Amino acid sequence: MEASRVYTDKLSGTSTRQERSGLAALLDYARDGDAIVVVGIDRLGRNAAEVMTTIRNLGQRGIVLRSLREGIDTSNAAGRMVAGVLASLAELELELGKERRTAARDARRARGQSIGRPKALTDEKIALARRVQDSGESASTIASTLGVSRATVYRVLAVSDGQ
């Protein structure tokens, strides 16, 4: 048996447990008496309930969880309790972050400000690109003149054509 194994997943924060093959392989491989070491307990799930379910299942299987960031060791009752509290706080922070981002977007809308990435070309530059294209210039020439990529030129001209 290997003395050390590393499992990783490279997915977004919205991924489900079924999409996390690294976590699934780790949970399948772990046996009674093993210790799983994670960077942070938030790596075990996307919300407090999922993290706590994982911790509880590991405990029932006789598997200890150690978290480096939080300094948690679930081999004792105090460690399990702290893991639960920290999982709940992590979920709260995620929810507060979502609420702050939503409030910021709503405030920008209310002030009439744009949301998201700024447009690469103003309406005047798009009109200029259209005129230059109509005179027979290539997308490459238009792009270099306006300081944008050819893809941007194609996209804005297609939108302005109504496509």
> Hey, is 111 helix, strand or coil?
coil
pLDDT of residue 1: 44
Pairing of strands 64-67, 72-73: antiparallel
Q: What is the per-residue pLDDT for 3?
A: 54
Ranges for all domains in the chain classified under CATH 3.40.50.1390? 17-110
The tokens for 27 are: 């949970």
What's the pLDDT at 84? 78
- The ranges of the chain annotated as CATH 1.10.10 are 123-160
Give me the amino acid identity at 69: R
The span from the CA of 104 to the CA of 96, in Å, is: 12
Mean pLDDT for back-to-back runs of 10 residues, the chain (163 residues): 71 62 87 91 79 85 91 88 81 88 94 86 91 92 92 86 58
Which amino acid, 51? Answer: V
Q: Give the pLDDT score at 100.
A: 95
d(CA 102, CA 84): 27
User: Treating both helix axes as pointing N-terminal to C-terminal, what angle do 48-60 and 77-110 enclose, rounded to 10 degrees?
Assistant: 160
Options 2.40.30, 3.40.50, 3.30.70, 1.10.10; which CATH number does 123-160 get? 1.10.10
Give the separation between CA 111 and CA 9, rounded to whole angstroms.
40
Q: Between the CA of residue 114 and those of 98, 99, 110, 148, what are the distances in Å?
A: 19, 19, 10, 20
C-alpha closest to that of 38 among 81, 77, 86? 86
Under CATH, which number does the domain 17-110 receive?
A: 3.40.50.1390
pLDDT at position 117 is 83
